[in-house]
Chain A
Amino acid sequence: MIPGAWICLLSPLAGALAITLAGTRLSRRGAAYLSTLSCFVAFGGALASFAGSLGEKPHERHHLSTAWTWIQGGSYKSGLEVLVDPLSVMMMLIVSGVGALIVAYSIGYMDSDDEERRYFAYMSLFVFSMLLLVQGGNLILLLAGWGMVGLSSYLLIGFWHERPSAVAAAKKAFVMNAVGDATMALAFFLTIQKTGTLSFGALNALHGHSGWVVNLVALGLLGGAVAKSAQLPLQTWLPDAMEGPTPVSALIHAATMVTAGVYLIVRTHAAFELAPKVQDLAAGLGAATLLLAGLIALVQVDIKRVIAYSTMSQIGYMFLGAGLGAYANSMFHLMTHAFFKALLFMAAGIVIHALAGEQDMRRMGGMRALMPRTYWAFLVGALALVGVPPFAGFFSKDSILAAAMGHGWYGYILWIAGLVGAFLTGVYTFRMLFMVFWGEPSAFAREHFHTLKRDVPGLALEIPVVVLAVLSVIGGWLQFAPTWHPVATWLDTVAAPLVSPTNWQEAVSSVLAVVLGLAGIGLAWLLYAAPRRRPIPRTAFWQRTLEHKFYFDELYDTLFYVPSSFVARALGFVVERPLILGGSTELGTETREVGGLFARLQTGLLRTYALAIASSLAVLAIVFVAVKCRPF
């Protein structure tokens, strides 16, 4: 089991290194196969760990395996260690499994790109980073994986680096993630100071420290989680990140990176439970984000951005769950979300690929007739997303909503937000589906469409989609809250839930959520697909606000970028110029002037010199005599 975990972690790294060092000696397709192989080997390792863990008793499922001491400063030290416990095994399976499928899909998607090798090296590096994050045995390794994931996402988002927009989006993602890294680091410093270590147990050891210490630590952790998962207020990088290739969006922004924040909260739940206000804040941010993202998704015209905002929204649900203490439910939703969101991205990718790179939904239409199988896959994903039974989303989302009911008046507000979110989900998801797939094929589509060929790339595009579609259907059957909950039992030893909704609460939430979801679908049908379409209600103010994503980009620009740019330039003029030029040249001129003063003594006139000599001699003589003879 331990070797399985190490293989899982190191196999993608080995793949990335091999591709980098082989360079052009490896063919492009070869690099693709190598990368996919490394990810499948990782999945194999994860399965081995899982099998090993299954065979153990629940309270034994906690193994730390250390390779060597990584960092040491006096009495503090942390090692390179890998943790195998139920939570990490679950994440390992999700990351390596869905990751392997997406990398396989990339074989087809990136087939025509010249820089394929670089792409696959980066993808393997990303999978490694994410696995390091979830397998890291102490907080500093978690932070290491955290940062490496941010780095790999920078490399992948900015993959097409001739495009200035892609480069800018990559930088934005990295910098916002760096802000999260910084807050996490501060939380860690505080933890080291109070407990002397950064093992996961250190957070338990914070028990007994004063309120503000625990709150600060939890707040720092929350800051990191918010940045990585693109929640309010650090959410602006996610939509821009769609500049990367579609498989990148599938991997990073559906299945893995953005879910890291949820994983963090569940892993460090001890700290959050000691700081309940911060935990409530997490739930609140999740709820706010899910509403915000749902609203913005209503006006997006780029197919990938709709899916991106829906990711933001769904992660809001997971934050909501984690913030309420329903850890297992959030993790379950994380798993099902990975399936259907990756599916949606990949299906959208097939559409984009077939239409020669076009992403604007207004130019698409009637793709149902042209690409029936893709349509069915997309439909499965959409239904799972909205949470229609018996698809996956239904089982996972509703149990989170039910957990909100037991949390007092604050919980009810969150519950209502969640339900509104379910309605919005129905609307925007099916708006997208209807705009792209229903109706008559648009002129553009007819002109540019080309079918998938039956070769390796074509198959590579299809098979993962099929697998994920199947998983989106049956994945939810892993847990049906009232009666059968293996997921909750599995995670019980790691993160015991704070709240257990009653059957009654579960039933009410489920029914309401499904009804609202279907209502959303109905509204979308009325507006976008019905034979006599109602006109879309618009107000100029809301249209503008939603299109500008609630002006967050502009706000951050004014708050941070413009002032720092200004300050940097101002410092350059006001402080640096004088320091560099002023100080030293002034020193030179001053010295010259003093020298000039002394030079005035050299008049060139004979009598000045004579006077000087004579008077000095006279003085010396008098002094000599006075000292020698001591007349006084």
Chain B
Amino acid sequence: MLGPDVAWYLAVAGFLFGTGALGVLLRRNPLIVLLSLEIMLNGGNLALIGYSRHLGRGGGQIFALSVMAVAASEVVVGLGLVVALNRRRVPLDVDRLNSLRG
């Protein structure tokens, strides 16, 4: 097999996933949260593809394709929500969007 060992792919994927997770948990702007979510998803994708190449099976790559489709639709919905929030002059701050609290 050419290229780096699967461990490197996993490391990068893990780094991407961690960065994305930190972004989701720590950032306040919903747009940035969505962006971090995307990074997380891509990290996952990378792990899937890396293993697919390592094991020689195509299942991982196909799954990565469906993840990308889902990610795209989710971004559409999420961006739509953010735009709607912005139109209503609601402050774009996740810490302040808590009207569904118990």
Contacts and interface: CB of A to CB of B under 8 A. Distances in A.
Touching chains A and B, CB distance < 8 Å: yes
A610 interface: yes
A605 B102 contact: no
Interface stretch (A58-66, A330-338, A484-492, A595-603): A595-603
B24 A604 contact: no
Interface residues of B, number: 13
B102 A606 contact: no
B97 interface: yes
Contact of B95 (A598, A599, A605): A605
B98 A603 contact: yes
Contacts of B101: 602-605
Contacts of B99: 604
A602 B25 contact: no
Contacts of B95: 605
Nearest to A610: B24
Given A599-B102, A600-B102, A605 B21 contact: no
Interface string A597-622: 01111111111001100100000000
A83 to B, nearest CB: 81
Contacts of A598: 102
Interface size class of A (residues with CB under 8 A): 10 to 19
A611 B25 contact: yes
Contacts of A614: 21
B100 A604 contact: yes
Interface string B58-102: 000000000000000000000000000000000000110111111
Contacts of B97: 604-606
B102 to A, nearest CB: 3
A610 B94 CA distance: 12
Interface centre among A606, A611, A614 (most CB of B within 10 A): A606
B47 interface: no
Given A606-B97, A610-B24, A614-B21, 20 more contacts: A599-B102, A600-B102, A602-B101, A602-B102, A603-B101, A604-B97, A604-B99, A604-B101, A604-B102, A605-B94, A605-B98, A605-B101, A606-B33, A606-B94, A607-B24, A607-B25, A607-B26, A607-B94, A610-B25, A611-B25
Interface of B: 21, 24-26, 33, 94-95, 97-102
13 contacts: A598-B102, A599-B102, A600-B102, A602-B102, A603-B102, A604-B99, A604-B100, A604-B101, A605-B97, A606-B94, A607-B25, A611-B25, A614-B21
